[in-house]
Amino acid sequence: MSGSLCPDPILIASTRKVGAGRALGGNVMKSAKCSQPTQLSLALHALKEAILKGATWQYEKLVTLAVNAGATDDQIDLVAHEAIEALFARAERPVTLRNLTQLAVPGHFRR
């Protein structure tokens, strides 16, 4: 410290902000409002999960469900696109010795 009796202006400004917030809010915390998922978001999520699992027999039903919930073609296309990108991202993992035995088909390599 330099021995000056003048307080630091940055410190004063920050305490003013803290004090103003305390004066306005007190110790009362606002509760976060979490909205319940809508039918539309649930339908789009179910469609994405089906694509990720490869459940092709469910696609038509889930697309119809999403359309009935108010989904647009663009929203459905975006969900499908995101799911396909996730599948490609998973497919690009390198093969290691540890998971090679899981990938090998029994009887594929014969002498």
Rounded to whole angstroms, the maximal C-alpha distance in the chain is 89
| Helix axes of 59-68 and 73-91: crossing angle, nearest 10 degrees | 140
Q: How confident is the model at residue 14 (pLDDT cuts 50, 70, 90)?
A: very low
Give the pLDDT of residue 2.
Answer: 47
Please tell me the distance from the alpha carbon of residue 50 to that of residue 87, in angstroms, as a whole number: 12
Q: How confident is the model at residue 1 (pLDDT cuts 50, 70, 90)?
A: very low
CA 47 to chain centre: 15
Query: Percent of the chain having pLDDT more than 70?
Result: 54
Please tell me the distance from the alpha carbon of residue 90 to that of residue 83, in angstroms, as a whole number: 11
